Structure 1
Amino acid sequence: MRQDVEIPYQETLIKWLHLSSIPRFGVASLTKLSQKLACQAHDLLCMGQGELLQAGLNSKQVECIQHPDQKGIQRSLDWLGCNKNSFILHYEDPRYPALLKEISSPPLLLFGYGDPQKLSNLQIAMVGSRNPSLNGKANAKLFAQQLGLAGWTITSGLALGIDGFSHQGALAAKAITIAVLGTGIDTVYPKRHQQLAENILAAGGVIVSEFAPLTPARPENFPRRNRIISGLSLGTLVVEAALKSGSLITARYATEQNRDVFAIPGNINNPLSKGCHYLIQQGAKLVTEFADINEEFSHLEFNTNVTNENKIQKKCTQSLATERLLDSVDFEATPLDIVVERSGMPASEVMSQLLEYELRGLVVAVSGGYIKLGEK
């Protein structure tokens, strides 16, 4: 009597690495062929040229199947073997995030560092400009921190600007944050975010990419990775974005994936607010605080104490400080000397009170002075 023997994990992984190297061949193609030929995914690798051509594959794809890139496959296996904190998930791996499987073009493979189980956490994607305003930076950190405290995992792309500040806000809340790369998994881009990447992993986060080790930074790969950022997440928050930007590409992916899109409004004269205003006009939800996002997911359990704590902190702060001082700080960066002049208070008292405001979450210190964060 025949007994089925489970294929060893590495042998299965080699087959998936082989499949992932086929040009213009993804999950949709694989599923279609498997159904048409009534076979398992890896059975395609054993078929003859004529059968593969008849099934609809082109000559380049057939060539890749019959002559696999052994060096590339071995390079990925070597990377996996040399890093204790690394993983490779294929599409049929039980740890592959279920939410990502729902999108139209999920990656065949996910390379990563960290605990792959956390890819199934409840996630909110946060994206925005690579050159944000001071207000945009403050909002990214504030929303990421408060969403993280409420129980969300914050997912972004490790890029300069809003991405980086979103990861930092999550880390400040001691929340899990996930970075999706547009380069090979072994390459942090931009390089200046190397320390941020290390901080993410040290805090229990995950770094993931669909691109194998040594894949260079190609411009076309960054928009492509955006579908993974939105695909891992229940919703996408656009903090600040121009009309033509990668952030709006991510928002479009989220809409196509039937996920929620949120946008923070801004100054009508700020070109980096135009993308958010456009999204709001197209049906994205306007948000002014993290609770606006949570109320869309009332069926999920979150740390509601965060909202109550914010209200209590604000009440305590207002009892300790004058409204005149708070009114002296704008929603755009306000220099310290302007705050002193407007309030009519001694500089030492202003600085002391602004520090108290900052600790309470009413203002944030930026390079140009202070920004009022508004009602909580």
Structure 2
Amino acid sequence: MPPSERDILIALHHLPGLGPQKWLTLQHTIQSPADLLDWPTDKLIKSLGQNAAQLFALWRAGEQGWLGARLNALARWLESDGHHIVTQFDELYPPLLKEINGPLLLYVAGDPLVLNLPQIAVVGARKATAAGAKTAHHFSQALASGGYGITSGLALGIDTQAHLGALAGAGKTVAVLGCGLDKIYPARNLALAAQIIEQGGALVSEFALGVKPEPGHFPRRNRIISGLSVATLVIEAAMKSGSLTTARQALEQNREVFVIPGSIYSEVSEGCHWLIREGATLVYKPEQIAEQLGAQLALFDLPEPAIEVNDELVPKHKKLLQLIGRERVEFEALLALSHFNLSELHQALGELEMLGLIASSEQGIERLFAGS
């Protein structure tokens, strides 16, 4: 029995060097993928390249080869519950992604139906401030409670808080990976990935099984994040960051871009402010996003994140908390602003950290929100 058009598309996707652009070009020369079964090898080489053409020719001849082995491994993966492939030939393929000439297929772990929910991408810095992390959680929880799917990239920082916020809002969340679904990255988020699936969400990738995360994969991942979503929300982004790339792609895709502003002195806010200057919409409440998108959501009754206040603190502690404010502050800057000596500042910061009011790291010192 000859392979179906869908089977041929899946085989083509696994060929090296055949991405969305080459597939688009190929589509202009064929009426159906089945045409490739009759093409002579020299014609395949012209369209697919030498290596890919030889691999495809072996596969269509029924020989195992490299391509056959990969497709057999895929078949075994698909035998597990919750593992799916959604191709451009399938009704479940997200129309928003097809609109931007998305990948030939998506690997999905979890519920593929969530890919067609109205989704909002939430992206931002991996080394997020405490304020940024809390904002991502709060916005995602509110928007997920109101019926939006929350889409992000499973990275540390803002992405993680976006997924956790959506789960806390009893909503659905989609994590798009820059590697195969059997190579969850970062490994620290393995438990979160499992929780996303358990609560009816999905992990998604255009990369085949066994593909490891590489720097060049993440722009492609980011394009899917914005492509799946009706809008993108940026919370903390440096000028040279993947989050800013995602936002730019969203703008190119004619999707809404919302931005949370930050301090003019913060590097992780520079990209946000640039986006606002370029025409992105400044927001500071979740309902502003819903209103702009025309949603009728009445579930935005979550309390605003609050910074811990303790009236019993001694004056030196109050002074330091006031100086730290809502942004991350470098130790040297705090030393100069506080007029404490080195020993006094170390002691006071240690006491505040013991009280759970601040966090210090190599990125600086920042206040913690209540309930963090």
The two structures have a TM-score, normalised by structure 1, of 0.77
Amino acid at match of 2:75: L
State the shift of 1:222 in Å.
1.5
1:185 pairs with 2:181: yes
Aligned length: 319
Contact 1:333-1:370 within 8 A present in 2 as well = no
1:65 pairs with 2:63: no
Amino acid at match of 2:43: E
1:266 is paired with a residue of what secondary structure?
coil
State the shift of 1:212 in Å.
1.5
Contact 2:131-2:369 within 8 A present in 1 as well = yes
Contact 2:263-2:327 within 8 A present in 1 as well = no
Provide Cα deviations, 1:6-46, integer angstroms capped at 9, x if missing partner: x99x8554322211123332344334333334x20232243
Amino acid at match of 1:111: Y
Show structure 1 runs of 4+ deviating over 6 A.
none
Instruction: Tell me which residue corresponds to 1:46.
Output: 38
Instruction: Tell me which residue corresponds to 1:169.
Output: 165
Provide Cα deviations, 1:75-108, integer angstroms capped at 9, x if missing partner: 1111111x1111011111111111110114x111
The two structures have a TM-score, normalised by structure 2, of 0.78
CA distance in structure 2 between the aligned counterparts of 1:45 and 1:28, rounded to whole angstroms? 21
Instruction: Tell me which residue corresponds to 1:259.
Output: 255
Instruction: Quote the sequence identity (%).
Output: 40
What's the RMSD between the two structures over aligned residues? Answer: 2.9
Structure 1: runs of 5 or more not aligned:
1-6, 335-363
Counterparts in 2 of 1:73 and 1:46: CA distance versus 1, 3 Å: farther
State the shift of 1:370 in Å.
4.1
CA distance in structure 1 between the aligned counterparts of 2:38 and 2:254, rounded to whole angstroms? 37
Instruction: Tell me which residue corresponds to 2:199.
Output: 203
Equivalent residue for 2:14, pick from 10, 21, 32: 21
Equivalent residue for 1:277, pick from 234, 251, 273: 273
Instruction: Tell me which residue corresponds to 1:100.
Output: 97
Contact 1:14-1:73 within 8 A present in 2 as well = no
CA distance in structure 1 between the aligned counterparts of 2:358 and 2:160, rounded to whole angstroms? 15
1:212 is paired with a residue of what secondary structure?
coil
Amino acid at match of 1:103: I
Amino acid at match of 1:117: L
Equivalent residue for 1:194, pick from 174, 190, 194: 190
Equivalent residue for 2:151, pick from 142, 145, 155: 155
Amino acid at match of 1:259: R
Matches for 1:110-121 after TM superposition, within 5 Å: 110-121=106-117
Amino acid at match of 2:118: L
State the shift of 1:136 in Å.
0.7
Counterparts in 2 of 1:268 and 1:140: CA distance versus 1, 3 Å: same
Instruction: Tell me which residue corresponds to 2:77.
Output: 79
Matches for 1:330-341 after TM superposition, within 5 Å: 330-332=325-327
Structure 2: runs of 5 or more not aligned:
60-66, 314-320, 330-355, 360-365
Counterparts in 2 of 1:165 and 1:40: CA distance versus 1, 3 Å: same
Counterparts in 2 of 1:62 and 1:260: CA distance versus 1, 3 Å: same
Instruction: Tell me which residue corresponds to 2:341.
Output: none
Contact 1:145-1:172 within 8 A present in 2 as well = yes
CA distance in structure 2 between the aligned counterparts of 1:63 and 1:256, rounded to whole angstroms? 36
1:238 pairs with 2:230: no
Amino acid at match of 2:51: K
CA distance in structure 1 between the aligned counterparts of 2:5 and 2:72, rounded to whole angstroms? 14
CA distance in structure 1 between the aligned counterparts of 2:173 and 2:253, rounded to whole angstroms? 21
Instruction: Tell me which residue corresponds to 2:62.
Output: none
CA distance in structure 2 between the aligned counterparts of 1:229 and 1:34, rounded to whole angstroms? 25
Amino acid at match of 1:164: T
Counterparts in 2 of 1:370 and 1:215: CA distance versus 1, 3 Å: closer
Contact 1:45-1:65 within 8 A present in 2 as well = no
Amino acid at match of 1:59: Q
Contact 2:125-2:243 within 8 A present in 1 as well = yes
Provide Cα deviations, 1:285-316, integer angstroms capped at 9, x if missing partner: 11111122112211xx442x224x35xx78xx
Amino acid at match of 1:249: T
1:119 is paired with a residue of what secondary structure?
helix
State the shift of 1:63 in Å.
2.0
Amino acid at match of 1:96: Y
Amino acid at match of 2:188: R
Counterparts in 2 of 1:216 and 1:57: CA distance versus 1, 3 Å: closer
CA distance in structure 2 between the aligned counterparts of 1:14 and 1:263, rounded to whole angstroms? 42
Amino acid at match of 1:35: H
Amino acid at match of 1:67: L
Amino acid at match of 2:40: G
Contact 1:332-1:372 within 8 A present in 2 as well = no
CA distance in structure 1 between the aligned counterparts of 2:16 and 2:209, rounded to whole angstroms? 17
Counterparts in 2 of 1:71 and 1:231: CA distance versus 1, 3 Å: same
Contact 2:146-2:299 within 8 A present in 1 as well = yes
1:218 pairs with 2:214: yes
